[in-house]
């Protein structure tokens, strides 16, 4: 169940974001890391998911 939360949230945000006609400013790496840490602290993602996503953000 927990493994489905993050992809579902990401999909929903992308789908809803596509409906907007205003350009969305890019989210900083710092904000992405804070959001990721919040998801981890709320136990929405596992240790492995946290580390994988953190690595992806830092490699951007």
Please give the pLDDT value at position 5: 74
Please indicate whether residue 4 or residue 57 has the higher confidence score (pLDDT). Answer: 57
CA distance 23 to 49: 29
pLDDT in tens, 8-54: 776 777 666 556 667 878 999 999 999 999 999 999 999 999 999 99
Do the beta carbons of residue 33 and residue 54 sit within 8 Å? yes
Residue among 31, 37, 29, 34 at smallest CA distance from 56: 29
Is 4 a residue whose pLDDT tops 70?
no
Please give the pLDDT value at position 54: 97
Domain ranges of the chain: 2-19+27-59
């Amino acid at each position: 169940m927990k493994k489905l939360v993050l992809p579902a949230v990401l999909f929903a945000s992308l789908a809803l974001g596509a409906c907007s006609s205003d350009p969305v400013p890019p989210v900083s790496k710092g904000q992405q890391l804070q959001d990721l840490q919040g998801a981890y602290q709320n136990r929405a993602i596992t240790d492995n998911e946290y580390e994988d996503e953190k690595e992806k953000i830092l490699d951007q």
